[in-house]
Amino acid sequence: MSEIPAEGGVTEELKKLANIATDMQLDGKMRTTAIKQLGEMGSHESLLVLLNLAANEHLNTSERDLALKHARDIIKKGH
């Protein structure tokens, strides 16, 4: 996993996961896995990505709810 921040403080790994999570041509399982991985990262940057996913009207409601759940978990942990 790349830990070197890219422009705007978002790592390449975060960008890749965000792209997978929003690619509607991919299987829903892959998008869900990407959202879970963002939640597991637990960083402030991944929190911001998850909040953007939760606000993305193009995603399924269940995927948006999952992104919001993981964002909430990160907030509870203090990020």
The pTM (predicted TM-score) of the whole model is 0.84
Which pLDDT belongs to residue 63? 97
CA 23 to chain centre: 12
The total of structural domains in the chain comes to 1
The answer to whether position 2 is within a domain reads no
Range of the domain at 16: 7-76
Task: Please give the Cα distance from 39 to 34 (Å, whole number).
Answer: 9
Q: What is the residue-level pLDDT of the chain in tens, covering all 79 positions?
A: 334 444 455 689 999 999 999 999 999 999 999 999 999 999 999 999 999 999 999 999 999 999 999 999 999 998 6
Question: What are the structure tokens assigned to 27, written together?
Answer: 């299987």
The answer to whether position 1 is within a domain reads no
